[in-house]
Amino acid sequence: MSVLKVIELLASSDKSWEDALRNAVKTAGKTVKGIRSVYIKDHSAVVKDNVVVEFRIVAKISFEVLD
C-alpha cells in the first residue's frame, strides 16, 4: 500500500494556463520525486491595457511518500 502526499503550488506563464501547469510540474520535479497527478484548484489571469499578460494557476501535486 502506498502513501501519497499533496502539496499546493502557485505557478504562472505569459503563454497559457497549460504552460503554467507545465512550469509547476517541471519546477516541482526538481526536488519532488514520483509525481503521480496534478489537480488544478484555481486559475486566474492578469490583464493590462485590456490584454491578458499573465496566466496563473493554483495546483495540487500528489506524489508517493517513500519508505
Instruction: For residue 34, give its domain range.
Output: 4-64
59 or 67, which is more confident: 59
Supply the CATH number for residue 52's domain: 3.30.1660.10
| pLDDT band of 13, cuts 50, 70, 90 | very high
Dump pLDDT digits (tens) for 23-61. 999 999 999 999 999 999 999 999 999 999 999 999 999
Locus of grid cell 519508505 = 67
Structural domain total, the chain: 1
Which grid coordinates belong to 23?
A: 512550469
Q: How many residues does the chain have?
A: 67
The pLDDT, as a whole number, for residue 42 is 97
| pTM for the predicted model, two decimal places | 0.85
